[in-house]
Amino acid sequence: MYIGMVILLYNFSGFAKNYNTEVLLSNSQKNGAHYLDTLAPIKITPKIQINKIYDINTLHETYVVDGYFVATWLDERNFDTINNAKQDIVIYENQMADEKIGKEVWVPAFEFINVVGNRNIVNKQLIIRPDGNVTYNERFNAVFTTLMDFKKFPFDEQCFSIQLEAFSYDNKSLVFLENNETSMSINKEMPEDWLVGKEQKYISTKEYSHLSTDGVPIEFSRYNLEITAKRKIRYYLWQFIFPLFLIISISWSVFWMPDLSDQLTTNFTLMLTVVAFNFHTSNILPNLPYSTFIESLITMGYLSIFISIIVIILGYSLIKNNKRIHNQKLMKHCKYLFPGGFLLTNAIQAVLFFG
């Protein structure tokens, strides 16, 4: 009898343990918890479809993206959700989707890494299929930022990137898979002064140390979408470059003027005009540790006008020393040397920037 009671107590304790385990699993699923096997991380296939990139601010290196974000993964625990709904496909939208996420359906917290502030989610959708596949879909718009290279401005190309990670799960628990679709992720919708070029989609890893307990950085899977766009130069050609060349060309007219006061007045006025051009370009670009191509053109304009003023003063000193013939020869040579020298120096600048 004693042995029988021991066996009975043992079986009861085992039953209680199994019962408690089942209750805990049930509650964890109900509260949105998800058992992630470290040997088999959840595989999520992301996709971003961009409707439009707009409000490109070169001064702050930001841009606004309006688009769709779609993520698909397999979660076998959703069989119960399908069976309870008695439907082939279950679709939840907006508030209903928010109520299901974290209670009945596991959805990781997706985070755009290079976003400024919060992203605005216009609509969201949660689709659960009979085979356990889950599709999360949202329409979003947000301000993004990326490093921009303005060395060739206004002949520059910029890369507009979107970087996505799961906020809470490292790559031992969750990894992104590449989407093999060959269609473009953007519908060629860019502001009129930009032309869409190539795009690149790839998966990378990012290390973080702030969550590490043993000093070893933790790796997270990252989905990257990069779209290259080239600036259309028509506006800058007619509003900046052509007027600048015209102003500098007018400065060479002083070599045909006989009067010193007219020569100096013309060149000083043109120098102030070039200064105004410089102010205008500085309002377009951020403070940069390097020179841009258009700034190099303005610098060459400064030098051309400044050197012409020195030549004029030198010619006036020759006249005062009764060497008018030498001054005439100097002015004659300058009529050809200045345009030729300006074109040559700008050709060298172009090779340095674009070569």
Percent of the chain with pLDDT over 70: 84
Same domain, 192 and 311: no
CATH of the domain at 261: 1.20.58.390
- Residue 320: pLDDT above 70? yes
pLDDT of residue 280: 77
pLDDT of residue 23: 31
Is residue 326 within 8 A of residue 318, CB to CB? The reply is: yes
Same domain, 137 and 186: yes
3-state secondary structure of 338: helix
- Residue 270: pLDDT above 60? yes
Model confidence at 120, in pLDDT bands (50, 70, 90)?
very high
Question: Is residue 18 situated within a structural domain?
Answer: no
Model confidence at 190, in pLDDT bands (50, 70, 90)?
confident
Q: How far apart are the C-alpha atoms of 292 and 302, rounded to whole Å?
A: 15
Query: Which domain does 341 fall in, by range?
Result: 234-354
Q: How far apart are the C-alpha atoms of 316 and 355, rounded to whole Å?
A: 42
pLDDT of residue 7: 40
Is residue 134 within 8 A of residue 128, CB to CB? The reply is: yes
- Residue 5: pLDDT above 60? no
- Residue 197: pLDDT above 80? yes
- Write the CA distances from 129 to 45, 190, 294, 330, integer angstroms: 16, 35, 56, 86
Give the β-pairing of 90-93 and 133-145: unpaired
Tell me which DSSP letter residue 149 carries.
Answer: -
pTM across the whole model: 0.75
Task: For the chain, give the longest Cα–Cα distance.
Answer: 139
Q: Choose between 23 and 159: higher pLDDT.
A: 159
Residues 6+ apart with CB under 8 A from 83: none
Same domain, 260 and 344: yes
Same domain, 124 and 221: yes
- Residue 28: pLDDT above 70? no
- Residue 29: pLDDT above 70? no
Average pLDDT over residues 138-142: 96
Average pLDDT over residues 324-351: 86
Q: How confident is the model over 152-189, as pLDDT tens digits? A: 998 999 999 999 999 999 999 999 998 877 667 776 66
CATH of the domain at 48: 2.70.170.10
Same domain, 267 and 213: no
Out of 69-73, 310-314, 350-354, least confident range: 310-314
- Residue 19: pLDDT above 90? no
Burial class (CB in 10 A: 0-12, 13-18, 19+), 174: buried
Is residue 111 within 8 A of residue 121, CB to CB? The reply is: no
Crossing angle between the packed helical segments 324-354 and 293-320, to the nearest 10 degrees: 170
Residue in the block written with tokens 């605005």: 120
- Residue 287: pLDDT above 80? no
Last residue of one domain, picked from the residues 176, 209, 231: 231
Out of 68-72, 121-125, 210-214, least confident range: 210-214
- Residue 39: pLDDT above 80? no
User: In the sheet where 115-128 sits, what is the strand order?
Assistant: 90-93, 115-128, 133-145, 62-74, 42-57, 174-176
Give the β-pairing of 194-208 and 133-145: unpaired
- Residue 35: pLDDT above 60? no
Q: Choose between 1 and 66: higher pLDDT.
A: 66
Question: Is residue 13 situated within a structural domain?
Answer: no
Question: Is residue 221 situated within a structural domain?
Answer: yes
Model confidence at 107, in pLDDT bands (50, 70, 90)?
very high
- If one counts the domains in the chain, the total is 2
Average pLDDT across the chain, whole number: 82
Helices (H), 228-292: 234-236, 242-251, 260-284
Is residue 77 within 8 A of residue 106, CB to CB? The reply is: yes
Same domain, 97 and 246: no
Residues 6+ apart with CB under 8 A from 35: 28
Question: Is residue 11 situated within a structural domain?
Answer: no
Last residue of one domain, picked from the residues 196, 231, 266: 231
pLDDT of residue 84: 58
Q: How far apart are the C-alpha atoms of 311 and 295, rounded to whole Å?
A: 24
